[in-house]
């Protein structure tokens, strides 16, 4: 049974690590009495100055310079791991062996067998392991899933995650650290398409534009689902303005979700065709309604959900099946792009179903 007050640590004091550090502090303010009581214990980073600065800025008790110090600390129960992708496995395995609950930034790894092994290790020890797919905790995402029947038979899912990555020395650009746009943020689009489809893709096709370091700066993917629905993924570090959007088209209408504005709209298919002006159709829009769903800070919501599962038990929002499929689809898309051929996922689906 978890302690009544959970000791929290963050490993990694870069941009995303600082966001987690701030998130644990703000989650209690956002969610009030419903949140598990937490104690902000440590921020760890190999760069001691970064660790010290983050710990001081966000009110943590101390800074550490190794993940081993966090693993060996008796006053830490919960750890966010926010480091380069290739470092995840060693650190997460060490933390689980030390009895810590772990929230690991996505993707945990690009190797499906490692995902399975890590979640098995957590389950065998009675620990919670989850990957940080922050978008899954948007209130608008929950509303969208609940309202999907309103648009009838699903036809198309279009997921976009794009922004400009200007720093040429960013670890996301390093092939040896499993960088690339698809591995970094494309897993959000993969997760979104799979969740809304309600099924796993049977086949994927991918197209990549590689940068000087050999990783993809732009990735376009197609997912073919058994029902006949299609997923279209647009992931890139080239778009001059941030775009984080999810569109779902059905026979009776369309939902559009903008993660940045947290705006969710529903467009009903127009009856009788568009109005014509001088023989031209100025718009094909149907009846559009903005749905009144309350906003929330998504990282705080994610941390709240994780801490609540640690405190109360249950299954995390992002579980082993989510992790396995995110990796399987992402790696298959990369193989499809490299080989110029579609990749059939039916064999993986059968193996996962029979596992």
Query: What does the alpha-carbon distance between residue 334 and residue 213 come to, in Å, rounded to a whole number?
Result: 16
User: Which residues have CB under 8 Å from 51's CB, separation 6+?
Assistant: 13, 43, 44, 45, 63, 64, 65
Q: Which of 301, 296, 300, 312 lies closest to 101, judged by CA?
A: 312
Question: Is the alpha carbon torsion for 140, 146, 148, 150 positive or negative?
Answer: negative
Contacts of residue 77, defined as CB under 8 A and 6 or more positions apart, other chains included, come to 2, 3, 6, 7, 8, 100, 101, 310
CA distance 213 to 211: 6
Q: For residue 36, which phi and psi values (nearest 5 degrees)?
A: -60, 140
Which SS3 state, helix, strand or coil, does residue 76 take?
Answer: coil
* Active-site choice (100, 106, 242, 335): 106
Clarify whether 335 is annotated catalytic.
no
Beta 230-236 vs 62-64: how paired, if at all?
Answer: unpaired
On whether the CB atoms of residues 186 and 259 are closer than 8 A, the answer is no
Q: Given 3-state DSSP classes, what are the helix, strand and coil percentages for the chain, each rounded to the nearest 5?
A: 40, 25, 35
Distances (CA, A) of 270 to 191, 275, 347: 30, 10, 41
Count of Cβ atoms closer than 10 Å to residue 282 Cβ: 10
The catalytic residue positions are 106
């Amino acid at each position: 049974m978890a302690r009544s007050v959970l000791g929290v640590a963050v490993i990694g004091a870069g941009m995303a690590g600082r966001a987690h550090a701030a998130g644990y502090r703000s989650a209690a303010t956002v969610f009030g009495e419903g949140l598990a009581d937490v104690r902000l214990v440590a921020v760890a980073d190999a760069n001691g100055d970064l660790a010290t600065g983050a710990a001081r800025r966000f009110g943590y008790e101390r800074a550490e310079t190794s993940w081993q110090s966090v693993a060996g600390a008796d006053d830490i129960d919960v750890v966010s791991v926010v480091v380069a992708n290739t470092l995840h496995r060693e650190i997460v395995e060490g933390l689980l062996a030390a009895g810590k609950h772990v929230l690991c930034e996505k993707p945990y790894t690009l190797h499906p067998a490692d995902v399975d092994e890590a979640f098995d290790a957590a389950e065998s020890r009675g620990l919670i392991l989850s990957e940080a797919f922050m978008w899954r905790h948007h209130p608008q995402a929950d509303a969208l899933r609940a309202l999907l029947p309103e648009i009838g038979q699903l036809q198309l899912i279009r997921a976009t995650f794009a922004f400009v990555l200007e720093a040429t020395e960013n670890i996301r650009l390093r092939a040896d650290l499993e960088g690339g746009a698809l591995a970094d943020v494309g897993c959000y689009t993969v997760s979104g398409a799979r969740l809304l489809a309600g099924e796993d893709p049977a086949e994927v096709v991918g197209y990549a534009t590689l940068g000087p370091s050999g990783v993809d700066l732009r990735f376009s993917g197609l997912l073919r689902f058994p029902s006949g629905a299609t997923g279209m993924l647009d992931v890139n570090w080239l778009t001059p303005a941030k775009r984080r959007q999810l569109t779902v088209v059905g026979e009776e209408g369309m939902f559009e979700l903008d993660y940045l504005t947290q705006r969710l709209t529903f467009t009903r298919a127009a009856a009788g065709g568009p109005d014509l002006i001088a023989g031209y159709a100025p718009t094909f829009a149907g009846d559009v309604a903005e749905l009144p769903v309350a906003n929330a800070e998504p990282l705080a919501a994610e941390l709240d959900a994780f801490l609540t599962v640690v405190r109360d038990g249950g299954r995390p929002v992002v579980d082993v099946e989510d992790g396995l499929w995110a990796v399987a689809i992402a790696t298959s898309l990369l193989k499809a792009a490299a080989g110029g051929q579609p990749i059939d996922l039916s064999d993986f689906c059968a193996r996962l179903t029979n596992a």
